[in-house]
Amino acid sequence: MSIDPVAFRETLGNFVTGVTVITAVDPKGEHVGITANSFSSLSLDPPMVLFSVDRKSQSLPVFEAAGCFSINVLSDAQKDLSNCFAKSGTDKWAGVPRSTGQTGCRLIDGALATFDCTTHAQYDGGDHIIFIGNVVAMNSSKEARPLVFYKGAYNSLSEGAQ
């Protein structure tokens, strides 16, 4: 049975995800960031997470070489940041309030949550590379609401949903 790629993508869109910006820094100090909704928890003990990067991403070589990455779970007030980091070839960091995590990767101020990770493993995932990370530090805000992606568009949780 053959799966139509367009229909597959549309069907996947029925799964509601949060929106993240994943950051890394290569050994030469180059900082990159990409918007991704391919983030997931993996293990509680030890604490591990995973995400994937498209093989065509210009940032992939940095993620492959970095040895670390940070996950920034965006709040509903950070849609503009999501759009900025989804584009290639721009100065994504201009004016972005940030700090530096234990690994040297950038953490975005105001994010709903951050996970600072060392790279545990990289795996082939078809047209993506899957990165697994050991969480070395994290932070969470109870004051913000998440930026949500559903059926190809940003959405919000209904009032009262927490």
Whole-number pLDDT of residue 26: 85
* Model confidence, pTM: 0.91
Per-residue pLDDT of the chain (162 residues; tens, 9 = 90+): 799 988 988 888 878 889 999 999 988 888 999 999 999 999 999 999 999 999 999 999 999 999 999 999 999 999 999 999 998 877 889 899 999 999 999 999 999 999 999 999 999 999 999 999 999 999 998 778 899 998 888 887 766 555
Residue 102 is encoded by which pair of tokens? 């234990």
Count of all residues that appear for the chain in the document = 162
Amino acid at 48: M
**Residue ranges per structural domain of the chain:** 5-150
Whole-number pLDDT of residue 159: 62
Whole-number pLDDT of residue 96: 93
Measured CA angle at 78 (ends 102, 31), to 5 deg: 40
| Beta-strand pair 48-54/40-43 | antiparallel
Indicate the fold that domain 5-150 takes in CATH: Pnp Oxidase; Chain A (2.30.110)
Whole-number pLDDT of residue 71: 98
Whole-number pLDDT of residue 162: 54
- Rounded Cα–Cα distance for residues 75 and 117 (Å): 20
- Rounded Cα–Cα distance for residues 76 and 157 (Å): 9
